[in-house]
Chain A
Amino acid sequence: MSSGVLAPRRPDLRPDRVRFAQSLRAEWVKFRTVRGWVIAMVVAILITVFLGIFAAGNVNIGCQNGPNGPVLTGKACTPKYPIGPGGEAVSDSYYFVRQPLAGNGSITVRVAALTGLHGGGGRIATGQSPLAGMTTGVVPWAKAGLILTSSTRLGSPYAAMMVTGAHGVRMQYNYTHDTAGLPGSVTAGSPRWLRVTRSGDRISGYDSADGRHWTLVGTARLTGLPTTVQAGLFATSPIYTVSTPGAIGSTNQSGPSQATAVFDDVSLRGSWPARTWTGDNVGNGPASAGTGFGYFRRSGAAVTVSGSGDIAPLVAGPAAASPTSTFEQPLAGLFAGLIAVVVVAAMFFTTEYRRGLIRTTLAADPRRGRVLAAKAVVCGAVAFVVGLVAAVIAISIGLPRQRNQGSYVLPVTTVTEVRVIVGTAALVALAAVLAVAAGAILRRSAAAVTAVIVAIVLPFLLAATVLPVSAGAWLLRLTPAAGFAIEQSIPNYPQVSNVLSPAQGSYPLPPWGGFAVLCAWVAVALATAYVLLRRRDA
C-alpha cells in the first residue's frame, strides 16, 4: 500500500498464501484474546496431568522376601526381567535338556505327545504343591520342541521350532518373531517331526508330518552367535488366563500351567562334544521353585520333558506374572483434558454464529474454505501444543512415580517413546479439528460438543467396561476412538495369550492404523463442513 502509485492493489488480488496468513492471524487473535479459552487450555493440561498421575501411579505393591522374610513395599519389590536382543523385556523361563553344539550342525526329533496341566485360577494354599489340584489340559501357547540358543543367560538370542497347545507348529526366534508351520495339535495318530539346522549365524527351522517330507518354516539370522551354542529339547507353558465377561467388565483369572512333551528319535548332526544331555531350569518361572514343574526323564529312545514358564516378550495385563506397567499409562487423564479442548474447539466456530461474528468474518474473507482451514489450523496447533505439554509433564512425573511404587515399566525404544508423546499431541489436535468441523456443521455448541465427546470417549468407555472384548474391538476399529491406538507402546503379540482390552493399553489396530482411522473421520468431517459452509447462508 505504501507503493500505491505503481500498483494500486486491491486486497483480493493478493496471493492466496498471503490471504491465508492473514486469515490465520485473524483466527489466532480471536483465539488468544478470549481469556476463558486460554484458561480452558491450561485447565486441560492440568487435569490431564493430575488425573493421569493419579490413576496410573496410585498402586500399592507389596512383596515378601522369602516365605518368612520381611514384608517390603514400593521400589524394593520391583521385579527384574531379562532384556531380549531387541531391547524389550522378556520372559525367558523353560526346562532345557541341552548339549553344546560346536560349529554347524542340526538336530531332528519326533514329538509324540504334548500334554499339560493348568490351574483354574484358584489360589494355592501355602506349602501345597502348585501341581496339586490342577486340571488336565494343554494351554493354547504351551510350547515344546527344539531350541538353539547362544547361552543359558536370560534374554539371550535363540531360535526354536516347537509344537504348541492350540497353534500348531511354530518357528519363533528372539522372543518377538513368530512364524506358523504345520497346523493341528500333536496326537498319537499325528506326531510331528521338527528340525533345526545351524549354518553360521543362520538358523533354519523345518517341520514334517511323516519324517520324510520336510518343509522350511523359516530362517532366522542371529547376529553375533558364538561358535559353540547350546541346543536341545525344551518345554514350557505360560500362565493360564481365563477371561469371562462379567457383571462389571471382564474378570480375569490366572494361574501357572505345565506342559509335558514326549520326544523320540532324537538325531544329531555335526559336532556335539558333550555326548550327554544336561537338564536345566532356565529362568525364574514356577519351575525354578523345585515344585515338580520342570524335569526330564529318559526311557529307551523316548525323552519326556516337562516345563513351565514362557519364552516370549513381556506384556502388561493379566498375562504378566507381577505388576508391570506401560510407558503410556500416565496418559490416562487425557480423556478429561480432551473434553476441555473439544469444548473450546467447538465454541471456536459456534460462537461466531451465536454472536453474528460469522458475517464479519466472511465479509473480511469471502473464501469460506479458507476461513474453515484457518480455524482448523489455529485450533489444531493450539491443541497440539496443549497435548504435547500435557503428555511430557504427565509422563515425566508419572513414570518415576510408578517406578518408585514398585511397578516395572516395560522398556520401549526411544522411537516408540517419541511416537507415543507426539502421537498423543496429534490425537488432541485431531480431536480439536474434529470439534471445529462439528461446530461448522451443527452450528450449535451443545450438539457439536456432545457429538465429538460421544464419538471419541463413549466407544472407549463401552469397549473398556461393558462390551465383550471382540465387540469392543470393532468399536475401536471403526469410531474416532481408534486414534487412541497411537498411544500403545507394547505391540499385541499374537504369540502371547493376553486380554486385549483398551484399559490394559491394547487396541485392535496398530498405532498408525488407528491414527489413520481418526484422520479419516476428521477428513470426512472437514469435507462435510466445507460443503455445508459454502452451501448455507451464514
Chain B
Amino acid sequence: MSHAPALRYPIWTGGRDVLRAEWTKLATVTGPAWLLAAVVGLSVAVSAAADAVTRCPTGITCSVDTVKLSLTGILLGQAVVAILAVLPVCNEYSTGMIRVTLAAMPRRPMVLAAKASVVTGLVLVAGIFAVLGSLVTGLLILPGHGFTAVRGFAQLSLTYGPTLRAAIGSVLYLGLIALLSIGIAAIVRDAAVSIGLALGVLYVFPVLTAFIGNQTWHDRIVRYTPMAGLNVQATTGLRSLAIGPWGGLGVLAVWALAALLAGGLLLRLRDA
C-alpha cells in the first residue's frame, strides 16, 4: 500500500464529513432515538424498583450504599447501550452499506472513529439523563424507607464528592460500554453474535463472582474484567473493594480501547 496520501494530507482530513455522514445515518432512522429513550427509561425504572424494594427496618444497622443502589438500573441500561452501539456497525454489513461507506471514505479507521464518536456522544447524553433520573428516584424513595440522615444516610446530593464521582463515573461507564460494544461489533460484524458477546462480557463475570468460592479469583475477576467499571458507583466501603472507583473505570477503558483497536485493525486488514 502506498503511504503517499498520508504524507500529503493530515490524518484527520475528511473528519468533519465522515462525522456528519455517521450522524446522518443515525439521525435519519427511528431506531436509535427509541433505544436512547429506552436507556433512560429502563435505567430509571429499574433503579426506582430497586429503591422501592429495599428497606432499612428500625433496629438494624444497614450497610447499604444508597448511591450504588439508586444506580442499579444502569445494569439494564447497559444492555440497551450495547444494542445501540452494535447495530450501526453490524447493519452496515448486513445491508451491504459498508461498501458505499468505504468507497466514500477509504480511510477505514476513520469511519470507525466517527461511528464511535457519534454513538458514544449520544450515549453520554442519554447516560446523563439516566443517571440523574436514577439518583432522583433514590432521593425521593429512600428517605421514606429508613435511609434517613439520623441513621447515617445523608440525602443524595451531587455536592458530595463520592456521589458526584459515582454519577459522572456511571455516565462514563455507559460511554465506555458503547465503545466496547462498537469494538466487538467491528471484530465480529454479525449483530446477534456481537450482542451475545457484549452481554456475555457484561453479565457472566458478575454472575460468576456470585458463585465463586475462592476469594483470590473473585478479586481477580472483579479487578481485571470489564465489571471492574461498576466499582465507580461505590461510595462506601471503598477499602474492601478489589479495585478503586477510578481504577475500575480505567480497567474498563483499557478493555474498550483494546476492542476498538482490534476492530479498527481488522477493518483495515479484512475485505469488507
Binding site for B on A (CB under 8 A): 36, 51, 54-56, 58-60, 244-249, 251, 323, 325, 329, 332-333, 335-336, 339-340, 342-343, 346-347, 350, 354, 444-450, 453-454, 457-458, 460-462, 464-468, 470-471, 474, 502-503
**In the bound complex, CA of A340 to CA of B79 (Å):** 16
Beyond the given pairs A346-B192, A453-B199, A471-B53, 13 more chain A to chain B contacts, judged by CB atoms under 8 angstroms and listed by A's residue number, are: A58-B214, A245-B54, A247-B65, A247-B68, A325-B213, A335-B207, A335-B208, A446-B192, A462-B72, A465-B209, A465-B210, A466-B50, A466-B75
Given A461-B206, A467-B54: A446 touches B234 (CB 8 Å cut-off): no
**B253 proximal to A (CB < 8 A):** no
**B90 proximal to A (CB < 8 A):** yes
User: Which among B80-88, B98-106, B124-132 touches the partner chain?
Assistant: B80-88
Contact assessment for A449 and B199 in the assembled complex, using a CB-CB cutoff below 8 Å: yes
Residue of B nearest to A345 (CB): B192
A contact residues around B211 at 8 Å (CB):
55-56, 329, 332, 503
Interface residues of B in 21-73 (CB under 8 A from A): 50, 53-56, 60-65, 68-69, 72
B54, B65, B204, B214: the one contacting A60 at CB < 8 Å is B214
**In the bound complex, CA of A448 to CA of B192 (Å):** 8
Would you list the 3 A-B pairs with minimal beta carbon distance, nearest first? A471-B53, A445-B192, A343-B196
Contact assessment for A457 and B207 in the assembled complex, using a CB-CB cutoff below 8 Å: yes
Q: In angstroms, how far is the closest chain A Cβ from the Cβ of B213? A: 4
**B160 proximal to A (CB < 8 A):** no
Contact assessment for A468 and B54 in the assembled complex, using a CB-CB cutoff below 8 Å: yes
**In the bound complex, CA of A460 to CA of B210 (Å):** 10
**In the bound complex, CA of A248 to CA of B227 (Å):** 13
Residue of A nearest to B200 (CB): A339
Contact assessment for A449 and B53 in the assembled complex, using a CB-CB cutoff below 8 Å: no
Q: In angstroms, how far is the closest chain A Cβ from the Cβ of B157? A: 19
Secondary structure type dominating chain B contacts: helix
Q: In angstroms, how far is the closest chain A Cβ from the Cβ of B197? A: 8
**In the bound complex, CA of A346 to CA of B50 (Å):** 30
**In the bound complex, CA of A248 to CA of B235 (Å):** 11
A contact residues around B60 at 8 Å (CB):
244
Q: What are 21 sample pairs from A and B whose C-beta atoms fall under 8 A apart? A: A55-B213, A56-B211, A58-B217, A247-B63, A247-B237, A248-B240, A249-B210, A335-B208, A339-B199, A347-B190, A446-B83, A446-B87, A449-B195, A449-B196, A457-B203, A461-B206, A466-B75, A468-B53, A468-B54, A468-B55, A471-B50
A323, A449, A470: the one contacting B192 at CB < 8 Å is A449
A contact residues around B272 at 8 Å (CB):
none
**In the bound complex, CA of A447 to CA of B172 (Å):** 24
**In the bound complex, CA of A249 to CA of B240 (Å):** 13
B61, B207, B209: the one contacting A460 at CB < 8 Å is B207
Contact assessment for A51 and B196 in the assembled complex, using a CB-CB cutoff below 8 Å: no
Contact assessment for B79 and A466 in the assembled complex, using a CB-CB cutoff below 8 Å: no
A contact residues around B206 at 8 Å (CB):
461, 465
Given A244-B61, A466-B72: A343 touches B234 (CB 8 Å cut-off): no
Contact assessment for B79 and A251 in the assembled complex, using a CB-CB cutoff below 8 Å: no
Q: In angstroms, how far is the closest chain B Cβ from the Cβ of A228? A: 45
Contact assessment for A470 and B195 in the assembled complex, using a CB-CB cutoff below 8 Å: no
Contact assessment for A453 and B196 in the assembled complex, using a CB-CB cutoff below 8 Å: yes
Contact assessment for B79 and A450 in the assembled complex, using a CB-CB cutoff below 8 Å: yes
Contact assessment for A347 and B192 in the assembled complex, using a CB-CB cutoff below 8 Å: yes
**B186 proximal to A (CB < 8 A):** no
Residue of A nearest to B66 (CB): A247
B contact residues around A466 at 8 Å (CB):
50, 69, 72, 75
Residue of A nearest to B216 (CB): A60
A55, A247, A447, A468: the one contacting B208 at CB < 8 Å is A55
A contact residues around B195 at 8 Å (CB):
343, 445-446, 449-450
Contact assessment for A59 and B207 in the assembled complex, using a CB-CB cutoff below 8 Å: no
Contact assessment for B203 and A450 in the assembled complex, using a CB-CB cutoff below 8 Å: no
**In the bound complex, CA of A445 to CA of B197 (Å):** 13
Given A339-B199, A471-B53: A245 touches B63 (CB 8 Å cut-off): yes
A contact residues around B213 at 8 Å (CB):
55-56, 58-59, 323, 325
**In the bound complex, CA of A340 to CA of B207 (Å):** 16
**B193 proximal to A (CB < 8 A):** yes
Given A60-B214, A446-B90, A458-B76: A467 touches B63 (CB 8 Å cut-off): no
A contact residues around B190 at 8 Å (CB):
347, 445
**In the bound complex, CA of A246 to CA of B61 (Å):** 10
B contact residues around A471 at 8 Å (CB):
50, 53-54
Contact assessment for A447 and B63 in the assembled complex, using a CB-CB cutoff below 8 Å: no
**B148 proximal to A (CB < 8 A):** no
**In the bound complex, CA of A51 to CA of B79 (Å):** 22
**B243 proximal to A (CB < 8 A):** no
Q: In angstroms, how far is the closest chain A Cβ from the Cβ of B14? A: 29
A contact residues around B55 at 8 Å (CB):
468
**In the bound complex, CA of A457 to CA of B80 (Å):** 15
**B11 proximal to A (CB < 8 A):** no
**In the bound complex, CA of A339 to CA of B201 (Å):** 10
Contact assessment for A340 and B196 in the assembled complex, using a CB-CB cutoff below 8 Å: yes
B contact residues around A339 at 8 Å (CB):
196, 199-200, 203-204
Q: In angstroms, how far is the closest chain B Cβ from the Cβ of A169? A: 27
A contact residues around B69 at 8 Å (CB):
466
Contact assessment for A244 and B199 in the assembled complex, using a CB-CB cutoff below 8 Å: no
Q: In angstroms, how far is the closest chain B Cβ from the Cβ of A246? A: 4
**B191 proximal to A (CB < 8 A):** yes
**B13 proximal to A (CB < 8 A):** no
B contact residues around A470 at 8 Å (CB):
53
- With a 10 A CB-CB cut-off, give which of B63, B65, B76, B200 has the most chain A CB atoms: B200
Residue of A nearest to B238 (CB): A247
**In the bound complex, CA of A496 to CA of B187 (Å):** 51
**In the bound complex, CA of A366 to CA of B72 (Å):** 46
Given A335-B203, A466-B50, A471-B54: A51 touches B76 (CB 8 Å cut-off): no
Q: In angstroms, how far is the closest chain B Cβ from the Cβ of A398? A: 12
Q: In angstroms, how far is the closest chain A Cβ from the Cβ of B85? A: 10
- With a 10 A CB-CB cut-off, give which of A36, A244, A248, A465 has the most chain B CB atoms: A248
Contact assessment for B214 and A59 in the assembled complex, using a CB-CB cutoff below 8 Å: yes
Given A247-B65, A247-B237: A458 touches B208 (CB 8 Å cut-off): no
Contact assessment for A458 and B50 in the assembled complex, using a CB-CB cutoff below 8 Å: no
Q: In angstroms, how far is the closest chain A Cβ from the Cβ of B39? A: 12
A contact residues around B65 at 8 Å (CB):
247
**B236 proximal to A (CB < 8 A):** yes
Contact assessment for A247 and B236 in the assembled complex, using a CB-CB cutoff below 8 Å: yes
Residue of B nearest to A474 (CB): B53
Contact assessment for A453 and B79 in the assembled complex, using a CB-CB cutoff below 8 Å: yes
**In the bound complex, CA of A221 to CA of B74 (Å):** 55
Q: In angstroms, how far is the closest chain B Cβ from the Cβ of A240? A: 15
B54, B83, B216: the one contacting A447 at CB < 8 Å is B83
**In the bound complex, CA of A462 to CA of B230 (Å):** 14
- With a 10 A CB-CB cut-off, give which of A332, A339, A448, A460 has the most chain B CB atoms: A339
Residue of A nearest to B214 (CB): A58
Contact assessment for A336 and B217 in the assembled complex, using a CB-CB cutoff below 8 Å: no
Q: In angstroms, how far is the closest chain B Cβ from the Cβ of A386? A: 15
**B212 proximal to A (CB < 8 A):** yes
